[in-house]
Amino acid sequence: MSNFFNYYASTILYLLNLVAWYILSRKTDRKSVNGIVLNYFLVFFMIFLCWNILMMVTSRSNIVYILFWSLVSIYELFFVLITLFRLARAKKDYSDIFVIIVAILAIPIILAAILTWTNRSYSPINTTDFYNLILLTLGSILILRSLLLQESFLDNIESFFIFSGFTLYFGLHILASNALSIDFMKNFNFGKYANLISLIFWLGSVFLVWKIRSKHS
Amino acid sequence: MENQVQTFVIFSSAFLIFFILFTVYLIVKLKLHDLKLKKSEADLRELNQSLQNIVQERTKELHQSETQFRTLYEQHREVLDNSPAGIIKINANLAIEYANPEMNTILVNASQRYDLLQGRFIRDIALFGNSDLQDFFQELKTGFELSKEIEIAGKNKKMITVIVKGVPIIENDIFLGAVIVVNDVSEIKEIQTRLTASLQEKELLLKEINHRVKNNMQIIGSMLKLQQRYIDDPDIKRLTRNSLDRVKTMSLVHEKLYYAADLSKINFGDYVKSIAIYLFGSYGIRPSKVKLDINIENIFMEISTAIPCGLIINELISNALKHAFPDDREGIIRVELLPTEKDKYLLTVSDNGIGFPEKINLENAETLGLMLTKTLVEQLHGNMRLVRNEWTTFIIEYKNVTLSTFSEVKNKNGTEILF
């Protein structure tokens, strides 16, 4: 049952989300912050779609999992950071700093992946994931705050829903990967549904965004 | 147990999804509403600012207009307050809306102060209650400007003459009121009366002078006539008669002036006719023998032109009567005077007698009559030419001269004026 939800159902939801958000993103200005966020978000779905398909094809291969976990973790950091940088609208070009930050944050992820592979234990991944997710959650909250303070809030509604979903997604994953706190995963298997909950949220968001857009356009 | 937990987890997840989704949606809606409010507020602020600008602009314009109006009002008020004429504005009900201070002077006898006139009906004011003005104000309503001269009791109960002039205010054929201007013309009236009396006196004196000049000339003529009786020499007798004719011609002018309505001008046609009749009588020529044809339009001439012109005609007719029709020859003497252009005349004296002697021409004429004629033509700034054919025609073109141009001629040529 849980496998079904984790792979098949989530694959379908990823596909639906990809199509729905792609349709939604067609009317958006690609060069705006909102357009960039939508583009990266679609790439995020595509990565996950590949991951899920490969997991199903390779019968949950460890190496596939570790590789994609690393890729997704780095991509999520990149995504949140680039959005924060864009929203900061700094006049100076901070691309060097951005690359350095992403590179520094990627080091523990790569190390955790290597350790997990060599030690045959998911503990390094879970631990790194936990701290990463805290950073990503905080980053998402900062993005939401920044979006709310923007004068052009109406132009960035899609981004707002996307990062609301990400806050939920990262928050739920903290619970799923948290070995230090309430151990929610072990007792209730709640963490397993983090992806599904977020995907349903994003799918629902499509309808709400469409509704708001049709009212305010 | 595990199934129950899973079902609980599924429902909890669904609830969580919708709750969070709904919350996000609410946040978005609230934010949009907030933005809308902010935009409306900004719009309102902008509108308020533009309204404030408009109000400020209008206030400024109003202030300027008010200042202009006040200046204009002050000027008009000053004009009205210092006007030498009494001015009243009445409304459609003939009640006074405004009266200027001069009305006080005019109404002083009635003890009615001008500033207490407002609101009173015009018929209640003593001045306008005058019987002569009873219909005046009613007629004003018809829309015509009216003016009336009346006598009222002024200061010290002395009668003064005032001219009451009414100008109706009509808009869209509706009588809205009128402006009444009252002018005290007593002094002007007095001066006018004195001037009229003085003029009448002068006219009388001038008539008297003309009469006396005429009488004196007649006396001169009578003396010349008396003297003629004692002259045996026919040449001297002729000369004396010529002088007598000339004196008679001049006295005729004064006679005409004495009887004329206008003391400065005479009817020249009548004057020429009188001269001709006199000369025909003087030379004993019967009108049946020599016919006289006078063609002079209704021309009135000043004395300064009429006398020299009359003397010229006298000389030329006398000349024709003396020489043109010998041996009871019949013929016509024609006198024509036509105006050519402004102040210019063309005088033609012609006869169909025996003709002017070939040996005599105008330039070297030595006879007194022709010399006199030439001099008189010069005095009139004119020129004379002689045309000889079946008719002997003297054509004289001259300008109407005034007394001032006469003295100019005298000074320039040193010519003695003969009268």
pLDDT, tens digit (0-9, with 9 covering 90-100), for B396-416: 998 776 544 444 444 444 444
CA neighbor of B139 nearest in space, from B164, B102, B106, B114: B164
Query: Average pLDDT, whole number, for chain B?
Result: 81
Supply the pLDDT for residue B58.
Answer: 94
At the topology level, CATH places domain B86-184 in: Beta-Lactamase (3.30.450)
pLDDT digits (tens, 9 = 90+) for B182-228: 888 888 888 998 999 888 888 888 888 878 888 888 888 888 888 88
Which chain B residues are closer than 8 Å to A157 by Cβ?
A: 28
Of A141 and B148, which is predicted with more confidence?
Answer: A141
Distance (Å, whole) CA B90 – CA B180: 8
Instruction: Name the domain count of chain A.
Output: 1
More confident residue, B3 or B73: B73
pLDDT of B152: 74
State pLDDT tens for residues B356-399.
888 777 777 777 788 888 888 888 888 888 888 888 999 999 87
pLDDT band (50, 70, 90) for residue B127: low
Chain A residue with the nearest C-alpha to that of B38:
A151
Pick the CATH number of B268-419 from 3.30.565.10, 3.40.190.10, 3.40.50.620, 3.30.2270.10: 3.30.565.10
Q: Chain A contacts of B12, Cβ < 8 Å?
A: 190
The residue segments making up the domain with residue A53 are 2-216
d(CA A179, CA B113): 112
- Paired with A10 in beta bridges are none
pLDDT at position A77: 93
Residues of chain B found within 8 Å of residue A160, distances taken between Cβ atoms: 24, 28
Q: What is the sign, positive or negative, of the torsion defined by CA atoms of B110, B114, B118, B121?
A: positive
Domain boundaries, chain B: 86-184, 186-263, 268-419
Q: Please tell me which of the candidates B12, B14, B31 has its beta carbon nearest to residue A148.
A: B31
pLDDT at A110: 94
Per-residue confidence band for B28, with pLDDT thresholds at 50, 70 and 90: confident
CB A161 within 8 Å of CB A202: yes
Q: Is B37 on the interface with A (CB under 8 A)?
A: no
- State the Cα–Cα distance between residues B121 and B123, nearest whole angstrom: 5
Going across the sheet that includes B383-388, the strands are B290-296, B331-339, B344-351, B392-399, B383-388
Residue A149 touches partner B, C-beta closer than 8 Å: no
Percent of chain B with pLDDT over 90: 13
Residue B282 has pLDDT above 90, yes or no: no
The residue-averaged pLDDT of B158-179 equals: 87
pLDDT at B411: 44
Chain A residues near residue B5 by CB distance under 8 angstroms: 188-189
ipTM of the complex: 0.74
Residue B109 confidence (pLDDT): 53
Mean pLDDT on B44-72? 94
Cβ contacts (< 8 Å) between A196 and chain B: which residues?
A: 13
Record: contact A193-B20, CB cut-off 8 A:
no
Residues 6+ apart with CB under 8 A from B411: none
Q: A166 — contact with chain B (CB < 8 Å)? A: no
User: Which residues 219-258 of B have a C-beta within 8 angstroms of A?
Assistant: none
- No. of H helices and E strands in chain B? 9, 12
Q: B6 — contact with chain A (CB < 8 Å)?
A: yes
Which has the higher per-residue pLDDT, B416 or A14?
Answer: A14
Smallest CA–CA distance from B2 into chain A, residue = A188
Q: Which residue has the higher pLDDT, B142 or A113?
A: A113
Query: What contacts A108, CB < 8 A, 6 or more positions away?
Result: A128, A131, A132
Checking if the pLDDT of B115 tops 60, the result is: no
pLDDT averaged over every residue in chain A = 85
| Cβ of residue A210 closer than 8 Å to a chain B Cβ | no
What pLDDT, on a 0 to 100 scale, did the predictor assign at position B389?
86
**What are the structure tokens assigned to B140, written together?**
């004003």
- A200: contact with B, CB 8 A cutoff: yes
The alpha carbon of residue B26 is apart from the nearest alpha carbon of chain A, in Å, by 11
A164 touches chain B (CB under 8 A): yes
Q: What is the pLDDT of residues A181-202, one digit of tens each?
A: 444 445 345 556 778 888 999 9
For B16, name the nearest residue in chain A, comparing CA atoms only.
Answer: A197
Higher confidence at residue A104 or residue B2?
A104
How far does B31 lie from chain A, in Å, by closest CA? 7
Instruction: Kindly tell me if the per-residue pLDDT of B331 is higher than 60.
Output: yes
Share of chain B above pLDDT 70, in %: 87
Higher pLDDT, B154 or B18: B18
Considering A58-67, B50-59, B263-272, the range whose residues carry the highest mean pLDDT is B50-59
pLDDT tens digits, one per residue of A126-178: 888 888 989 999 999 999 999 988 878 888 889 999 999 999 889 888 877 66
User: What does the alpha-carbon distance between residue B343 and residue B99 come to, in Å, rounded to a whole number?
Assistant: 54
Pick the closest to residue B95 from B127, B128, B118 (CA basis).
B118
Q: 10 Å Cβ neighbour count for B235?
A: 8
| CB environment B64-81: b (16+ within 10 A), e (fewer) | eeeeeeeeeeeeeeeebe
Looking up residue A65, the CATH number of its domain turns out to be 1.20.1070
Going by pLDDT thresholds of 50, 70 and 90, the confidence category of residue B132 is low
Q: Would an 8 Å CB–CB cutoff place A203 in contact with chain B?
A: no
Q: Using the beta-carbon criterion (under 8 Å), do B5 and A190 form an inter-chain contact?
A: no
